[in-house]
Amino acid sequence: MRALKIYRNGILAGILTEENRQHYVFKYDDNYFNDTSKSAISLTLPKSKQEYSSKFLFPFFF
């Protein structure tokens, strides 16, 4: 398993985790999520408490 900190404009926005080559998870950092002045990192990953899960690396991170 590998994990990456995802920053937007120098501020921690969330964590992208590669569970294995066929399972990726993105979760917003709580501080970033709770700050209403911070927008979502992408239109395909709107701010949400839920974890985003995919069989493929999210296109936004290519």
**Average pLDDT for consecutive 10-residue bins of the chain (62 residues)?**
96 97 96 97 95 94 84
Q: What SS3 class is residue 60?
A: helix
Distance of CA 50 to CAs 9, 22, 26, 36, 54, Å? 22, 19, 9, 17, 13
Q: Check residue 62 and give its pLDDT.
A: 80
DSSP state of 58: -
Q: Are 14 and 41 in contact (CB under 8 A)?
A: yes
